Structure 1
Amino acid sequence: MKVAFATQDQQRVDAHFGWAKHLAVYEVSADGATFIEDYAFGDNLAEDGDEDKLAPKLAAIHDVAIVYVAAIGGSAAARVVASGIHPVKVTGPDPISEILEKLQGVLKGTPPPWLRKALQKGKEKSFDFDEEEVKQ
């Protein structure tokens, strides 16, 4: 699954989604994490209410399942969720490497329902009739 991190320094989740200078994208599985790409954005990002600054970010991370942020505004959160991306707010400037390790640990166990849903992003939905019980 692909995961994005809103960052100013490319090392920590330390940025508001709309103001992030970078969105670092990783491919994450229970076995490891691989850096995919860093999307860099200009310096003119701190204008409140400028919804146009969100479009390139949403386009860049259209195929990620989760985006970790230090903060996110209500309208941006709605647009992220509408894009099928689960926003996760961190409490402080957490190192990306630590978040990746924790996420891998959760993936090795039994992920919570929201994460199981995020894992399905981009996968074809199927239904196994053999596993479905017939109720009479």
Structure 2
Amino acid sequence: MRVAFSSSNGRNVDIGFDQSCQFQIWDITLDGIQRCPCVDALVNHTSEEQNTIARLSAIAHCDLVCAMDIGENTMARLVNRGIHPLCTSHEIPIFELVEKLQTMLRTNRSPWLKRLNRKKNPSSQQPV
């Protein structure tokens, strides 16, 4: 699965989705993890709506987004685009979350993860 992280420093999830100017991208599989190039959200628009659209477009290729805060309206828009939103209650290192997500992939206990698995592998019950 491909995951986008909201980060001001590239190391921690430490800002909300609506404050992100770029996202740290990681590919997480059963066999390994790989850091991908970060993506710029191009949020220099005058309206917050245009900035939100820019952020949504920047992570359109992702399956999951992690941020300290995601507004309800934005959360609904992410879900409608097939991106699962995940909020953290505090600042947390990205690598710690990456490891937790990989463990979740291996155990496949979460309902949202099962939906993601079915979306990516409709004919298979194996983890992503």
TM-score by length of 2: 0.85
Following superposition, the deviation at residue 124 of structure 1 comes to: 5.8
* Contact 2:7/2:13, CA 8 A, preserved across alignment: yes
Letter aligned with residue 7 of structure 1: S
> More helix per residue: 1 or 2?
2
Q: Measure, in 2, the Cα distance between the counterparts of 1:60 and 1:120.
A: 24
Deviations 1:50-80 (A, max 9, x none): 1110112111211211100100112111111
Cα-Cα RMSD: 2.3
Q: Are the structure 2 counterparts of residues 120 and 37 from structure 1 closer, same or farther at C-alpha, using a change threshold of 3 Å? A: farther
Partner of 2:16: 16
* Contact 2:40/2:58, CA 8 A, preserved across alignment: no
SS at match of 1:100: helix
User: What is the percentage of aligned positions where both structures have the same residue?
Assistant: 30
Q: Are the structure 2 counterparts of residues 85 and 41 from structure 1 closer, same or farther at C-alpha, using a change threshold of 3 Å? A: closer
Moved runs in structure 1, 4+ residues, more than 2 A?
40-45, 118-121, 123-128
Following superposition, the deviation at residue 104 of structure 1 comes to: 1.1
Q: Are the structure 2 counterparts of residues 32 and 19 from structure 1 closer, same or farther at C-alpha, using a change threshold of 3 Å? A: same
Q: Are the structure 2 counterparts of residues 36 and 127 from structure 1 closer, same or farther at C-alpha, using a change threshold of 3 Å? A: closer
Please list, as runs of the form range in 1=range in 2, the aligned pairs for 1:37-116 lying within 5 A after superposition. Answer: 37-41=37-41, 50-116=48-114
Please list, as runs of the form range in 1=range in 2, the aligned pairs for 1:29-44 lying within 5 A after superposition. Answer: 29-41=29-41
Structure 1 unaligned residues grouped into runs of 5+: 129-136
SS at match of 2:105: helix
Partner of 1:133: none
Alignment: residue pair count: 125
TM-score by length of 1: 0.80
